[in-house]
Every structure is written in structure tokens, then in C-alpha cells.
Structure 1
Amino acid sequence: MARRRDDLPLDVQQALADAEKMMAADLSRNIHSVGFGKRTLDGQPDLRGHGVIFTVAIKGDRDCIQSMSIPRTLGDGMVSTDVIQAPPAEIELLRESDFLTRFMRDPGGQNRNCHNTPIPGGVEIQPTGQRWVGTLGCKVVRIAKDGSLRHGAITNWHVATGEVGQRMVQHGGSSEWFGEVASSPGIVFGGTNYVDLAVLDIQRTDGPYAPITHTVKPEQLTLGSYSKEISEGGVGTVVARDGRTLGRIIDGRCSQIGATVRVGYGGGKVALFKDQFVCTRQGGEFSASGDSGSMVFEYPAMRPFGLLFAGGTGTTIVSPAEYVIELGRVHSFQ
């Protein structure tokens, strides 16, 4: 099954490249993303098959969309296109000012509670000294600068601030930090990105952690243990995750692969990401503010699928697990 852009047939790769050129030429930035996935008809999967999916601004009617001159086919007429109207993708940090609103909406939720160490993935975390929270992805084995293997964990760059040495705590700014940022590929504004990632060092043996050698365990809060083997799934794969805000979700689906996406980072900053997954959930949301950093798994096999980092109404952007390995100096999951 095709998973990344290089896995797709050459005519589809060319069609995506042509779509990217249209996206780059769209100075009004009405085209938010292009990717390869299942075409739709009146919001339902279309039996006509797969094609290049353009996601455009939700404002405007079909005449406005047609004025963008999106062709019916690309790649010498061999690849069909489809258009979806949706809001732009944004990073979804949950700020301190949102805490009360979220609490009143859902005062429970074990994904927001403190947990004894070693803690599971899928729970709320926060950088010390900052006013936002996100989600702890999962435990990994990371490659240190000296080439040695050390216990680690992952979340998003924008959750952990991405600064080496930044300490991370659990719910409510707990005074005891469980890990610190060891490395990150960072975010390139004005360039190309493939993953929003911070890799944490979680080896603590002092204070309340002694004699534990790592503070995060290779389990998700409700989904349990996961495989070391990366998923081979692509379009149509059922996906699941634990997260800070929406908790346990087991009925998501990968709807697009190889997507090029503009992602808003606030303050007018927009980053371009390539070769991403777009995940959706019929009849509900796959993610919400505060779920940034969640690890997404193929379900029920529980093979690592990708790292969640952004979304808009009805869509969630997930970076393939391969980029966590390749760009994060991660040796393996677990």
C-alpha cells in the first residue's frame, strides 16, 4: 500500500507536483493543501476512485472555487481531481486562558490527570514557565550525540518550544519535571518541513524518580502497549490515538497521503509541510486544541502511524512515523 509520495505511481507524483505549482501560484492562499486520496461526492466516498484532493478556503461558493481554475484532471489527463472546502490547518495549542472553558465542558478525563511515573503516552504535558499544554506522544529509544542509545519520548516542537534543555512537566505545572528537550529538527518558515517534533530525554534517577531509569513507559493511556514496527498503512487505514482533550479515539481514518499543507503558527507565521497524512473521522473530530503531540497508531494492530500536530474543522494533519525516525535521531519506538 502506498504510504508516502515516493510510493505512488509516477503519474500521480507528477500530478501532485503540478498541484503544488498551482498552490504556490495562489497568492491569495485560498488553496490550503493538496494531497492524494479518496474522492468524495456530497461528502461521501466516491466510487470513481482516488485523485488529487485540493482543500480550499471555506469562504465562497462553487463559482468562486471554479474561478481558481482547478482542472478536472492532472498528469496528462490520467489523474482526476476533487475539491474540498474547509478551514485552514492550524497548530492547536490549548492556552491557559482556555482552561476554564474546557474544564466546564468536560471536568473529567483521565488524560488530564497526573500519573505516577513512568507515565503513559497520550496525557497532558506542559513546558515549565509557559501558559499552554499539549499531549505527550509516546516513548522511544533515541540516539544521543555520542551515538549511544537513551530512553526518550516525543511530542511536538510547538508544544515543547523546541529549545534544547526545556523541561516538561505534567498537568497543572507540576513542580517535578519528567523530561527535557534533547533535540528537534525545528520549523523552517519560508522553507519545507516534514515533521513538527521535539525529542525528550527522560532518563531521571534522582529525587522522586529514583531508582526508575526512565519516566515514560511504552504504553498509551487507554490504548495500551504498541508495536515497534511502523505501520505500512496509507489511504483508508483505520487509526487511533490517545490525547489530552478528546481522549481515546479509535475510529479515525487516513483520507489523504503525500499532502502538501500550509499550517498557521500564529502571529502571521505560516509553515509549509510536505508528504503529510490527512486524517478524518466520520461524524466527529479526530483532534481538538490540546491534542497536539499525540501519537497516532494503526488500529487495532497498534503500529506507529504518525505524529499529530495540526488541524482544522473536520481534518487533522499527521506527519508519517518515518520522519520521526529519520529527522529526530530516533532509533525505534518503545
Structure 2
Amino acid sequence: NNAQVGDPIIQPGGADGGSVNTDHIANLERFCPIDFGTETGSNCGIASTYANIGNAIASLLGSSHRVTVVQANPQAVNLVDAAVARPLNDGDVLDEILNIGAVSGTVEGTLGMQIRKSGRTTGYTTGMITTIEATVSVNYGPGQTATFQNQFVAGPMSQGGDSGSLIVDMNSPRAVGLLFAGSTDSTIFNPIQAVLDCLNVEI
């Protein structure tokens, strides 16, 4: 959510030694904001009053920190964690995935479906969908936990850095989903149609 349209995309990424000066290949075109279940402001007058008093005291003491009142929304849910970038030069990117090839079309994931992906950290791995229509909570850092509904869960076929990998049907070149989270026991990915709809793109 802190990104801005037009932000530079680098390849390799910063964690792999890439830099904006030498590896800038695209700019952020669109992304799907994540709802963490909080919003600025509150209908609670007491909370607002305490915040105002605290900020006044902080100002008198010379502190630049300020308190912002937020209210929780336990009903906040998400469907996708995704973004799309526009290459600076179309010739810098291929329409193929390493060890998988070109992807054509989509297919809805089903329980027991055999799947594959090629990712930055673990490379080419395979797995099987073990859960459909899952509701999961994903930690994005201190105070930032987001709930996602209608997700697919597969076995352990990814590690940190593999997020953004396209999940592809094992028996066809069709996309099933977009990997965005996981653990030592599982891999979680968004349904591909929800991703395409949110980003207004097609395969």
C-alpha cells in the first residue's frame, strides 16, 4: 500500500544486489491495495480527545511524533495481493516462464489438482492443491495482518522470495493462481481470475 504508480521495478531485486541505477526495467502500473482492517479516524470521542491531548503535549515537548486514531474493521477481507508493471522496453522481458514455457489461458483450481511454478528462491517446484476456498491471515509486519478469503492452499513448494510466481496447471500451460504467501508446511495463492479482474489484465 505504500507504493506509488510509477515506482521503479528492478531486476534483479534489491535483495539480490540490483539497483535502480543499473537494473531499472519497468515501472509500477497498477496494484491491488490490501485492507488491513483499520482506517484513520474514529467515531469514539473519548479516543479522539486523548489523541488530541497527547499530540498537544508532544508538541510542547518538541516531539515530532503524533498519535493517529484508527478504528478496526473486523469484516475487512481481501482476495488478492498483486501488482503489474509496464516494461521500459518490451524486449527486456520474455512471455515465457523458466522451466515452464509460455502460459496460455486460465483454469480454475480444484482439490487435488497437480500444479507447478518457477520462483526466484526455489526455482521449479511442483505440488498439489490441498485446500480450496480457504480463509487465511497473513502477517505483513508489526500491526499489519490481513485476512484473505477464497484462497488456494498447496503443500510446501515455495520459500520467501517466491511471491509473485505464477501457479500453472501441471497438465496444461494454463494459469491457476498467483503465489503470495506460505510457510514451511504450505503455499498459499490467489485464484487467477480474481487477480486478472483486480489488475484489469488478461492472459
82, 92, 100: which one pairs with 1:197? 82
Q: Which residue type is aligned with residue 196 of structure 1?
A: D
Question: Map of 1:207-222 to 2, 5 A cutoff?
Answer: 213-222=90-99
Q: Which residue of 2 aligns with 1:170?
A: 11
How many angstroms does 1:163 deviate by? 2.3
1: CA distance, partners of 2:107 / 2:119: 19
Structure 1: tracts of 5 or more residues without a match: 1-156, 205-212
CA contact (8 A) 2:121 2:159 kept: yes
125, 144, 149: which one pairs with 1:269? 144
Per-residue CA shift, 1:290-321, capped at 9, x if unaligned?
Answer: 11111110113121010000112211110000
Give SS of 2:34's match.
coil
Q: Which residue of 2 aligns with 1:97?
A: none
Q: Which residue of 2 aligns with 1:278?
A: 153
1:239 and 2:115 matched: yes
Give SS of 1:260's match.
strand
2: CA distance, partners of 1:214 / 1:185: 26
Give SS of 2:94's match.
strand
The TM-score normalised by the length of structure 2 is 0.74
1: CA distance, partners of 2:199 / 2:182: 22
Aligned pair count? 159
295, 298, 302: which one pairs with 2:173? 302
How many angstroms does 1:231 deviate by? 1.2
Identity over aligned pairs, percent: 37
Q: Which residue of 2 aligns with 1:128?
A: none
Q: Which residue type is aligned with residue 28 of structure 2?
A: V
2: CA distance, partners of 1:215 / 1:274: 35
How many angstroms does 1:215 deviate by? 2.8
Per-residue CA shift, 1:135-185, capped at 9, x if unaligned?
Answer: xxxxxxxxxxxxxxxxxxxxxx7xxx6421111111221413111111112
Per-residue CA shift, 1:189-232, capped at 9, x if unaligned?
Answer: 1021110011111142xxxxxxxx343221001111222x2113
Per-residue CA shift, 1:240-287, capped at 9, x if unaligned?
Answer: 00001111113x00111111111111113100101100011xxxx311
194, 199, 203: which one pairs with 1:323? 194
Question: Map of 1:145-164 to 2, 5 A cutoff?
Answer: 162-164=3-5
Q: Which residue of 2 aligns with 1:292?
A: 163
Give SS of 1:302's match.
coil
1: CA distance, partners of 2:196 / 2:95: 16
Per-residue CA shift, 1:70-113, capped at 9, x if unaligned?
Answer: xxxxxxxxxxxxxxxxxxxxxxxxxxxxxxxxxxxxxxxxxxxx
1:312 and 2:183 matched: yes
1:260 and 2:107 matched: no
97, 101, 115: which one pairs with 1:224? 101
2: CA distance, partners of 1:216 / 1:186: 25
Structure 2: tracts of 5 or more residues without a match: 38-75
Q: Which residue type is aligned with residue 130 of structure 2?
A: S
The TM-score normalised by the length of structure 1 is 0.46
Q: Relative to structure 1, is the Cα distance of residues 305 and 198 closer, same or farther in structure 2, using a 3 angstrom cutoff?
A: same
Q: Which residue of 2 aligns with 1:105?
A: none
CA contact (8 A) 1:162 1:198 kept: no
1: CA distance, partners of 2:102 / 2:189: 20
Q: Relative to structure 1, is the Cα distance of residues 215 and 162 closer, same or farther in structure 2, using a 3 angstrom cutoff?
A: farther
CA contact (8 A) 1:295 1:306 kept: yes
Tell me which stretches of 4 or more aligned residues in structure 1 moved more than 3 Å: none
CA contact (8 A) 2:109 2:191 kept: no
CA contact (8 A) 2:108 2:191 kept: no
**RMSD (Å) for aligned C-alpha atoms:** 1.5
Question: Map of 1:110-129 to 2, 5 A cutoff?
Answer: none
14, 24, 30: which one pairs with 1:183? 30
Q: Relative to structure 1, is the Cα distance of residues 302 and 270 closer, same or farther in structure 2, using a 3 angstrom cutoff?
A: same
